[in-house]
Amino acid sequence: KDTEKKRNFCIIAHIDHGKSTLADRFLERTNMVEEREMKDQFLDSMDLEREKGITIKAQTITLPYRGHNLNLIDTPGHVDFTYEVSRSLAACEGALLVVDAVQGVEAQTLANVYLARENDLKIIPVINKMDLPQADAQSVKEQLIELEIEPDDAILASAKEGRGIDEILDAIIEEIPAPQGGIDNPTQALVFDSAYDSYRGVIPHLRVFEGDISAGDEIKLMASGKNYEVEEVGIFTPRMKETDYLKPGDVGYLIANIKNIRNCRVGETITEAQNSAESPLPGYREIKPMVFSGLYPSDNDDYSLLEQALEKLQLNDAALRYESESSSALGYGFRCGFLGLLHMEVVQERLEREYDIDLITTAPSVIYKVVKTDGETAKIENPSHFPPKNEIEWVEEPYVRAELGVPEEHIGAVMELCENNRGEFEEMNFLDRQRVILNYEIPMSEIITDFFDRLKSCSQGYATLDYEQIGYRESDLVKLDILVNKEQVDALSLVVPRDVAEKRGRAILKKLKDEIPRQLFEIPLQASIGSNIVAREDIPAHKKDVTEGLYGGDFTRKRKQLEKQKEGKKRMKKVGSVNIPQKAFMAVLEKD
């Protein structure tokens, strides 16, 4: 059978354990090096990924080896993209579990091992970096036993020196099952990723389970219900290379003039328009944004530019949401929804870099569910819309189950951090003698502030964090408003637990006092709950106007000063008579 000569696999590894280096060795070993050089050039354009040192967009490649086609499906490596990872795993029959021989198994890896299990993948353990003098294969093997993985199956490798590469490729052929599926069945193909090309539209990356697809076919996307005519199909070498067919077990791409990513999301099932499959492949989920923030142009004239930029970004980012909103402080802008904090940062940076728009962003927030006295339930994405106390019956907020990987000596500090952030302890398991996995249930709103930074600093950078949503719970929350120069600034409002509201108010004002530059007059800062002022700070006035001496001065000096002022204006917003810099809008994340 045709599928006998195909294998589909992915690599599960913690950041820096050697996934990319190993993939490079595979390319070399299968004589795809020339192609790889092209891929490197291609990757150079995605400097955001480079800088952040993480894979946002997965790369996929077909490796010819011993008469087989081995499809390596790469997975994105960040918690914001767990759903994408799960779809990539669903496209495989097996996974290489790559573990650094010095670092051992990490918490994040664990989460992916569980995902692999859920998808019934055959796991091949690889202990990498065996060339290092501190390599400790025995300890890693003990960790594998904890994970119920046969330690004797582990392949000892060094991606750096090229050791163990053939053994791994052989194991992929021998141990990972060949794909099932019949070419005569109605077509079912899973979309596990996609790219966007401004000429050819959305290019879904797919794994065929049943039937076949070729140019000229009329296909139907089962979740969106849209039909398209296929213009081209092909595989990744890693460059896109046109082929005649994609058959059961194949991994590749198709081009069908799909203009909108919304019609072809990750997790879609592609079938034939005429002879449709009875049901889609399992596991499709509408991805919902979890974190919201307001994006406003520093310069009001850039509003339509920002709208166009968001529209374009949305074409290849199915998770990004935006709708227009207005703020009395910031003017016209957009409330945007993101998968998580990293996703939010990536979008903001792309807007500033690729579209050259100066942005003011408000602090991230979650969606609160407010059950009101009139019986209605309101979903509040923008803290300034939180209703007053007398209209509220009760409030619910989203919780996550956080899984923290912590070295033994930092357990105390990490537990304290969790408890200070309203975390409820669930359980603790030893990963090995030196590391534990702590499970806490924590409000999502606590995680999206400075939790991650604090986790890193209280564990000398060693703790890891993974989390999943576990639904809504009732909490006693109030809206805290901030007044600058006696004027309420809606973009600075936030929702906080009632019992820490005053303390948070004081911390925020201290921070604002540092961030807002002194002006010619004294500026009072106040925090209020309803009509009660709970904290106050004052920014003293400038002693002297620095520009005064310049009037009547020589022309170049004056122009220089003007230019400097223009620079200084960037990422600054005039609210009433006070200039508020971008950083101040993040001050509301300050906790103590």
Q: Which is nearer to ligand GTP, 156 or 572 (CB)?
A: 156
Is the Cβ–Cβ distance between 205 and 253 less than 8 Å?
A: yes
Is the Cβ–Cβ distance between 480 and 530 less than 8 Å?
A: no
Buried b (16+ CB within 10 A) or exposed e, 399-418: bbebbbbbeeebbebbbebb
> Is 86 one of the binding residues for ligand GTP (CB under 6 A)?
no
> Is 129 one of the binding residues for ligand GTP (CB under 6 A)?
yes
Cα(89)–Cα(82) distance, integer angstroms: 11
> Is 77 one of the binding residues for ligand GTP (CB under 6 A)?
yes
> Is 128 one of the binding residues for ligand GTP (CB under 6 A)?
yes
Cα(61)–Cα(555) distance, integer angstroms: 61
Is the Cβ–Cβ distance between 523 and 539 less than 8 Å?
A: yes
Q: Which of 377, 8, 447 is CA-nearest to residue 189?
A: 8
Q: Which is nearer to ligand GTP, 23 or 535 (CB)?
A: 23
128 among annotated binding-site residues: yes
Q: Which is nearer to ligand GTP, 16 or 354 (CB)?
A: 16
Q: Which is nearer to ligand GTP, 132 or 520 (CB)?
A: 132
Is the Cβ–Cβ distance between 340 and 80 less than 8 Å?
A: yes
Cα(191)–Cα(320) distance, integer angstroms: 18
Q: To the nearest whole angstrom, how small is the minimum distance from the Cβ of residue 469 to ligand GTP?
A: 24
Q: To the nearest whole angstrom, how small is the minimum distance from the Cβ of residue 10 to ligand GTP?
A: 13
Is the Cβ–Cβ distance between 202 and 316 less than 8 Å?
A: yes
499 among annotated binding-site residues: no
The two tokens of residue 363 are 């602090």
Residue 94's SS3 state is: strand
How many beta carbons lie within 10 A of that of residue 377, not counting itself? 10
Q: To the nearest whole angstrom, how small is the minimum distance from the Cβ of residue 136 to ligand GTP?
A: 14
Per-residue contact track with ligand GTP, 477 to 496, x per CB under 6 A? --------------------
The stretch among 17-25, 266-274, 522-530, 570-578 that binds ligand GTP (CB under 6 A) is: 17-25
Please report the DSSP string for 137-202 in residue order.
HHHHHHHHHHTT--GGGPEE-BTTTTBTHHHHHHHHHHHSPPP---TTSPPEEEEEEEEEETTTEE
Q: Which is nearer to ligand GTP, 13 or 494 (CB)?
A: 13
The two tokens of residue 171 are 């194991």
Looking at residues 319 to 338 of the shown chain, list those that interact with ligand GTP (rule: CB under 6 A).
Answer: none
Q: Which is nearer to ligand GTP, 19 or 504 (CB)?
A: 19
Binds ligand GTP by CB under 6 A, chosen from 132, 520, 533, 562: 132
Q: To the nearest whole angstrom, how small is the minimum distance from the Cβ of residue 160 to ligand GTP?
A: 3
Q: To the nearest whole angstrom, how small is the minimum distance from the Cβ of residue 415 to ligand GTP?
A: 28
> Is 526 one of the binding residues for ligand GTP (CB under 6 A)?
no
Q: Which of 296, 592, 589, 286 is CA-nearest to residue 445?
A: 589
19 among annotated binding-site residues: yes
> Is 20 one of the binding residues for ligand GTP (CB under 6 A)?
yes
The stretch among 49-57, 250-258, 292-300, 325-333 that binds ligand GTP (CB under 6 A) is: 49-57
How many beta carbons lie within 10 A of that of residue 589, not counting itself? 17
Phi and psi at residue 40, in whole multiples of 5°?
A: -60, -45
Q: Which of 175, 237, 242 is CA-nearest to residue 213?
A: 242
553 among annotated binding-site residues: no
Q: To the nearest whole angstrom, how small is the minimum distance from the Cβ of residue 57 to ligand GTP?
A: 12
Report helix angle 19-29 to 165-175, nearest 10. 90
Per-residue contact track with ligand GTP, 373 to 392, x per CB under 6 A? --------------------
Distance from the Cα of residue 536 to its chain's centroid: 37
Q: To the nearest whole angstrom, how small is the minimum distance from the Cβ of residue 351 to ligand GTP?
A: 25
Q: Which is nearer to ligand GTP, 21 or 488 (CB)?
A: 21
Please report the DSSP string for 490-507 in residue order.
GGG-EEEEGGGHHHHHHH
528 among annotated binding-site residues: no
The two tokens of residue 394 are 């009760």
> Is 19 one of the binding residues for ligand GTP (CB under 6 A)?
yes
152 among annotated binding-site residues: no
201 among annotated binding-site residues: no
- Give how far Cα 214 sits from Cα of 181, 223, 224, 227, 332, Å: 17, 21, 21, 15, 47
Per-residue contact track with ligand GTP, 134 to 163, x per CB under 6 A? ------------------------xxx---
> Is 13 one of the binding residues for ligand GTP (CB under 6 A)?
yes
Q: Which is nearer to ligand GTP, 103 or 185 (CB)?
A: 103
Q: How many CA atoms lie within 13 A of 178 on its CB side?
A: 11
119 among annotated binding-site residues: no
Binds ligand GTP by CB under 6 A, chosen from 2, 131, 232, 450: 131
Angle formed at CA 495 by CA 489 and CA 500, multiple of 5 degrees: 110
Largest CA distance in the chain: 88
Binds ligand GTP by CB under 6 A, chosen from 44, 45, 51, 53: 53
> Is 21 one of the binding residues for ligand GTP (CB under 6 A)?
yes
> Is 18 one of the binding residues for ligand GTP (CB under 6 A)?
yes
Relative to beta strand 392-407, strand 435-443 is antiparallel
Q: Which is nearer to ligand GTP, 126 or 523 (CB)?
A: 126
Q: Which of 41, 52, 324, 2 is CA-nearest to residue 183?
A: 2
Phi and psi at residue 49, in whole multiples of 5°?
A: -60, -45
Q: To the nearest whole angstrom, how small is the minimum distance from the Cβ of residue 328 to ligand GTP?
A: 43
Using CB under 6 A, count the residues that bind ligand GTP.
Answer: 19
- Give how far Cα 96 sits from Cα of 46, 73, 145, 521, 573, Å: 26, 11, 16, 64, 51
The stretch among 16-24, 211-219, 338-346, 512-520 that binds ligand GTP (CB under 6 A) is: 16-24
Q: To the nearest whole angstrom, how small is the minimum distance from the Cβ of residue 157 to ligand GTP?
A: 7
> Is 16 one of the binding residues for ligand GTP (CB under 6 A)?
yes
Q: What is the dihedral of CA 274, 277, 279, 285, to 10 degrees?
A: -80
579 among annotated binding-site residues: no
The stretch among 19-27, 89-97, 192-200, 300-308 that binds ligand GTP (CB under 6 A) is: 19-27
The stretch among 18-26, 424-432, 484-492, 523-531 that binds ligand GTP (CB under 6 A) is: 18-26
Binding site for ligand GTP (CB under 6 A): 13, 15-21, 53-55, 77, 128-129, 131-132, 158-160
Which residue ranges are tagged as binding site for GTP?
16-21, 128-131
